[in-house]
């Protein structure tokens, strides 16, 4: 009898499909070997991972997230997500993570789970979700894994243990859309790092591990949040980089950072699909060199004034308004696909010099936290900005991961040496020792 | 614990140089660090290139079949009710059938290859044109020419897929012989003056020789763009001189050159200059310094 009901359930799921949420609409059209639209979250446990148990956990956990058990399909007007009857498989980790997921190859899931020694990593395509959704999935996976391993992870707390549906799968952008509001500023083309790119698929990861207490103390000294502090350090580093590359002030470009804001804190939604927008703290070096305090003040004020409900609803209104526009809706997908990359560079990547995404302090149930050593967050690269910075804190450590598709590590160096000069100790880890591992990523 | 003397950062175990500034690590902790200590796996991901799938899905074929069926039935019914037989509707009906074959054929064939699809597409277009010609009266009136041209197109496009680019010399040979056969057939079909042996074939042979020279140079001297360009310029000049002579022999029946010295005057010195630059490192360096951008 139990089997019968199971089959029935599976039958119902096969007909399930989802529209892409507003933020995800653009990603399938711009995906390439260079713009992978991926991000990665990982937990390092205290013991070596058993892939067999992880596979069982994954098969169980994915059933609780029906809106992640999907594959991407082309409709006539839009892409959509369709229930994927297959089950995902765990794979061994690689030196260059965050490689592109091919929509037509393999099991066609829009995420993958990788293991390496004591680490469990999930790599999500942005079509599916943002950092918050990905982290919820990773937490549920590790929680289930630990339980199967015979550990006691304690009470689940906010970790989902039942099948999620309804609100968790909603497109919150559309729910909180208000009829047309004034458009946000168009923005100007920002400064971009120069440099020869690696082969598509290769990525240089530089992790800086910092004692959380020290860096928070430093941020408190300036009376700013940790995000504002890190953004200011990043902007300062990019300012110096531009000073090295461009001699004359009038030829300099604005330095702006894309800082994702978790909209779940502003609007009451529990969605586990995309629900974040950006704010862009910006300085204009044509006006002269900014010292660190000046940058800090600009960043702090931008973060405060741009992240309130009123200011952010402007960009929300523009994005969703575009999606709801009748003229845009009746354009067949093949033509939309031609338009999207243009929109992406013009309205997204061109306007900023880099991204700093702070997932904040990751909270786990106490007993589970004892089993986890470290949490990492890495952003995929894109050919315009080249370097992206992702931050997350766990226990007493803050991990700052730079992902870059050039060999040149000037930004990373300028960023971390600034912290060192402030008296904050930094430990560096990389995925490739330039001198030792001289094996270039092969083309074929 | 090892630190970078320049950046001041603590370094991961086993690094020989600082990842940020490339400065050598003075006292690497433990140079023979085991694989187990690395923060990332050694495994390099396989770089898969997706195959572009040109075939539409079965659902699309299904949809297209019914969409095409509507105009097909309407034209047939109008024609039959008015004339009691098929007259003008032959043209739209065959056109729709052709369209259907072009769309549907690739996906109806299981495990199709590009070669099969191209062959089928070209074949069905040829059959379509021949049928139009046949239906409109005296056959063959005009359709043999586009049919031959389509056959030549098939030789150009489909043969590479059949033989793969590894056998490039064989492919080019087939291309040239195919072109020769095509020209010969056109010459015979149109009647009139015999131009194939005295005009078409010599030019074709010349072009083939030039193509062969360029191909051999490209293959033997890889990554020498100057040498390739020089050879190409030289061969092109020779080709023009040759064409000029052949055309004059055919038209005026005299061994003279007329227009070809003009392009040759531009191409020969360029080729010689490029040859010299290629084999003189000093000159190359000088030019790079002067003209670097």
- Out of A175, A190, A219, a domain closes at A175
Out of B16, B43, B44, name the one closest to residue A433 (CB). Answer: B16
Q: Residue A83: exposed, middle, or buried by beta-carbon count in 10 A (0-12, 13-18, 19+)?
A: middle
Task: Quote the CA–CA distance of B199 and A134 in Å, as a whole number.
Answer: 71
For residues A214 and A299, membership in a common domain is answered with: yes
- Out of A128, A157, A175, a domain closes at A175
Contact B162, B156 (CB under 8 A): no
In the numeric block, which tokens belong to residue A421? 């000069």
Task: Quote the CA–CA distance of B136 and B96 in Å, as a whole number.
Answer: 18
* ipTM score assigned to the predicted complex: 0.78
Look-up of token digits 């709801």: A324
B25 assigned to some structural domain = yes
Which site among A417, A441, A442 would you substitute to test the B interface, given the most B Cβ atoms closer than 10 Å to its Cβ? A417
> Rounded to the nearest 5°, which phi and psi values hold at B290?
-65, -40
Q: How far is CA A68 from CA A18, A61, A238, B98, B177, in A?
A: 10, 10, 36, 42, 57
The pLDDT, as a whole number, for residue A322 is: 85
Look-up of token digits 């005299």: B254
Which site among A435, A437, A439, A443 would you substitute to test the B interface, given the most B Cβ atoms closer than 10 Å to its Cβ? A435
Question: Cβ of B44 and A433 within 8 Å?
Answer: no
In the numeric block, which tokens belong to residue B138? 């005296």
Task: Quote the CA–CA distance of A278 and B207 in Å, as a whole number.
Answer: 60
Task: Quote the CA–CA distance of A25 and A14 in Å, as a whole number.
Answer: 22
Out of B10, B43, B45, name the one closest to residue A425 (CB). Answer: B10
Side-chain half-sphere CA neighbours of B168 within 13 A: 9
A149 assigned to some structural domain = yes
In the numeric block, which tokens belong to residue A292? 């660190």
Question: Using the 8-state DSSP alphabet, how is residue A38 labeled?
Answer: E
Look-up of token digits 């959509």: A80
Query: CATH number, domain at A209?
Result: 3.30.559.30
Question: Using the 8-state DSSP alphabet, how is residue A436 labeled?
Answer: T
For residues A303 and A421, membership in a common domain is answered with: yes
Which of A376, A419, A401 is CA-nearest to residue A43? Answer: A376
Number of domains into which chain A is organized: 2
* pLDDT tens digits, one per residue of A150-205: 988 888 888 888 888 778 888 889 899 887 788 887 788 999 988 888 888 889 99
For residues A167 and A274, membership in a common domain is answered with: no
A80 near B CB under 8 A: no
For residues A221 and A273, membership in a common domain is answered with: yes
Question: Cβ of B16 and A205 within 8 Å?
Answer: no
Instruction: Tally Cβ neighbours within 10 Å of residue A190.
Output: 23
The domain in which residue B249 lies consists of 221-293
The pLDDT, as a whole number, for residue A5 is: 38
B97 assigned to some structural domain = no
The pLDDT, as a whole number, for residue A6 is: 41
For residues A243 and A168, membership in a common domain is answered with: no
For residues A295 and A409, membership in a common domain is answered with: yes
Contact A266, A309 (CB under 8 A): yes
The pLDDT, as a whole number, for residue B51 is: 57
A182 assigned to some structural domain = no
A64 assigned to some structural domain = yes
Task: Quote the CA–CA distance of B131 and B91 in Å, as a whole number.
Answer: 10
B126 assigned to some structural domain = no
For residues A84 and A134, membership in a common domain is answered with: yes
Give ∠ CA B111-B112-B113 in degrees, rounded to 5: 120
Q: How far is CA A337 from CA A25, A227, A321, in A?
A: 10, 35, 18
Regions of chain A where pLDDT drops below 70: 1-15, 434-444
The pLDDT, as a whole number, for residue A1 is: 33
In the numeric block, which tokens belong to residue A320? 């969703």
Q: Chain B: give the shortest CA distance to residue A409, in Å.
A: 6
Cβ neighbours of A434 in B, within 8 Å: 17, 19, 22
A103 assigned to some structural domain = yes
* pLDDT tens digits, one per residue of A383-439: 888 999 999 999 999 999 999 999 889 999 999 999 999 999 999 999 887 665 554
Which site among A40, A47, A49, A94 would you substitute to test the B interface, given the most B Cβ atoms closer than 10 Å to its Cβ? A94
Q: How far is CA A247 from the centre of its chain?
A: 34
Q: Chain A: give the shortest CA distance to residue B42, in Å.
A: 5
Contact A274, A133 (CB under 8 A): yes
A80 assigned to some structural domain = yes
In the numeric block, which tokens belong to residue A121? 């990593």
Look-up of token digits 């529209």: A19
Task: Quote the CA–CA distance of A69 and A13 in Å, as a whole number.
Answer: 10
Q: Tell me whether the omega of the peptide bond preceding residue B140 falls within 30 degrees of 0, making it cis.
A: yes
Helix, strand, or coil (residue A253): coil
Say which residues have a Cβ less than 8 Å from residue A74's Cβ, sequence separation at least 6.
Answer: A333
Say which residues have a Cβ less than 8 Å from residue A280's Cβ, sequence separation at least 6.
Answer: A187, A256, A257, A258, A259, A302, A306, A351, A352
Out of A426, A434, A444, name the one closest to residue B9 (CB). Answer: A426
A138 assigned to some structural domain = yes
A438 assigned to some structural domain = no
Question: How many residues appear in chain B?
Answer: 293
Q: List chain B pLDDT tens, one digit each, 293 residues.
A: 788 888 889 888 878 888 888 888 877 666 555 545 677 887 877 766 555 566 677 788 888 899 999 999 999 999 999 988 888 888 899 999 999 888 887 777 666 778 888 898 899 999 999 998 988 878 788 888 999 999 999 999 999 988 888 888 899 999 999 999 999 999 988 877 788 888 899 999 999 999 988 888 888 877 788 888 999 999 999 999 999 999 999 888 888 899 999 999 999 999 999 999 988 888 888 888 777 66
Task: Quote the CA–CA distance of A163 and B208 in Å, as a whole number.
Answer: 69
The domain in which residue A162 lies consists of 16-175
B205 assigned to some structural domain = no
A403 assigned to some structural domain = yes
The pLDDT, as a whole number, for residue B111 is: 66
Helix, strand, or coil (residue A263): helix
For residues A144 and A235, membership in a common domain is answered with: no
> Rounded to the nearest 5°, which phi and psi values hold at A18?
-130, 140
Number of domains into which chain B is organized: 2
Query: CATH number, domain at A59?
Result: 3.30.559.10
Task: Quote the CA–CA distance of A434 and B270 in Å, as a whole number.
Answer: 43
For residues A31 and A163, membership in a common domain is answered with: yes
Q: How far is CA A216 from CA A224, A359, A366, A392, A393, in A?
A: 9, 15, 22, 13, 11
For residues A289 and A386, membership in a common domain is answered with: yes
For residues A284 and A417, membership in a common domain is answered with: yes
Shortest CA distance from A436: residue in chain B: B16
């Amino acid at each position: 009898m139990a089997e019968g009901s199971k089959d029935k359930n599976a039958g119902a799921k096969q007909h399930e499909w989802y529209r892409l949420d507003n933020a995800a609409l653009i990603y399938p059209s711009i995906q390439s070997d260079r713009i992978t639209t991926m991000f990665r979250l990982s937990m390092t446990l205290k013991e070596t991972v058993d892939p067999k148990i992880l596979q069982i956990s994954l098969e169980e956990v994915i059933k609780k997230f029906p809106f992640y058990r999907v594959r991407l399909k082309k409709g006539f007007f839009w892409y959509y997500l369709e229930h994927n009857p297959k089950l995902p498989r765990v794979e061994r980790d690689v030196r260059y993570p965050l490689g592109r997921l091919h929509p037509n190859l393999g099991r066609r899931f829009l995420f993958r789970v990788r293991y390496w020694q004591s680490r469990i990593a999930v790599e999500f395509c942005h079509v599916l979700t943002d950092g918050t959704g990905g982290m919820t999935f990773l937490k549920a996976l590790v929680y289930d894994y630990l339980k199967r391993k015979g550990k006691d992870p304690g009470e689940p707390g906010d970790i989902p243990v039942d099948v999620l549906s309804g609100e968790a799968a909603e497109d919150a952008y559309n729910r909180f859309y208000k009829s047309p509001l004034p458009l946000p500023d168009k923005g100007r083309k920002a400064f971009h790092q120069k440099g020869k790119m690696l082969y598509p698929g290769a990525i240089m990861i530089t992790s800086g591990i910092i004692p959380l207490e020290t860096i928070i103390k430093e941020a408190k000294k300036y009376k700013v949040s940790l995000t504002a502090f890190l953004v200011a350090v990043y902007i300062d580093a990019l300012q110096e980089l531009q000073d090295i590359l461009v001699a004359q002030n009038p030829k300099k470009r604005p330095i702006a950072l894309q800082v994702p804001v978790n909209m779940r804190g502003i609007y009451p939604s529990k969605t586990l699909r995309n629900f974040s927008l950006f704010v862009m703290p910006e300085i204009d070096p044509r006006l002269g060199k900014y010292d660190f305090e000046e940058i800090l003040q600009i960043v702090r004020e931008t973060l405060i004034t741009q992240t309130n409900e009123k200011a952010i609803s402007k960009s929300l209104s523009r994005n969703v308004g575009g999606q709801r526009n009748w003229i845009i809706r009746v354009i067949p997908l093949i033509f939309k696909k031609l338009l999207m990359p243009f929109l992406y560079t013009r309205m997204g990547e061109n306007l900023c010099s880099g991204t700093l995404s702070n997932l904040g302090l990751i909270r786990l149930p106490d007993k589970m936290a004892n089993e986890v050593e470290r949490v990492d967050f890495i952003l995929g690269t894109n050919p315009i900005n080249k370097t992206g910075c992702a931050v997350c804190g766990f226990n007493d450590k803050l991990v700052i991961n730079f992902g870059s598709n050039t060999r040149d590590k000037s930004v990373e160096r300028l960023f971390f040496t600034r912290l060192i000069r402030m008296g904050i100790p930094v430990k560096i880890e990389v995925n490739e020792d330039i001198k030792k591992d001289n094996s270039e990523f092969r083309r074929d | 614990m090892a630190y970078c003397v320049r950046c001041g950062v603590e370094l991961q175990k086993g690094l020989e140089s600082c990842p940020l500034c490339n400065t050598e690590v003075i006292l690497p902790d433990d140079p023979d660090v085991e694989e187990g200590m690395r923060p990332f796996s050694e495994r390099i991901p396989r770089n898969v290139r997706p195959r572009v799938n040109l075939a539409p899905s079965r659902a699309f074929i299904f949809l297209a079949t019914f969409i095409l069926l509507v105009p097909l039935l309407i034209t047939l019914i109008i024609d039959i009710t008015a004339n009691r037989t098929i007259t003008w509707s032959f043209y739209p009906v065959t056109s729709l059938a052709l369209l259907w074959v072009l769309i549907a054929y690739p996906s109806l064939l299981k495990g199709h290859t590009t070669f099969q699809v191209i062959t089928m597409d070209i074949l069905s277009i040829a059959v379509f044109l021949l049928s139009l010609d046949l239906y409109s009266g005296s056959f063959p009136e005009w359709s043999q020419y586009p049919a031959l041209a389509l056959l030549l197109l098939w030789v150009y496009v489909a043969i590479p897929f059949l033989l793969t680019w590894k056998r490039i010399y064989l492919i080019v040979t087939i291309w040239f012989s195919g072109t020769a056969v095509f020209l010969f057939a056109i010459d015979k079909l149109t009647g009139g003056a015999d131009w194939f042996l005295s005009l078409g074939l010599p030019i074709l042979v010349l072009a083939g020789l030039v193509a062969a020279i360029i191909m051999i140079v490209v293959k033997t001297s890889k990554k020498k763009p100057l040498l390739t360009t020089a050879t190409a310029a030289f061969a092109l000049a020779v080709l023009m001189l040759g064409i000029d002579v052949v055309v004059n022999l055919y038209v005026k029946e005299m061994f003279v050159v007329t227009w070809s010295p003009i392009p040759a005057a531009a191409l020969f010195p360029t080729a010689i200059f490029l040859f010299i630059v290629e084999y003189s490192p000093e000159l190359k360096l000088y030019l790079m310094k002067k003209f670097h951008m």
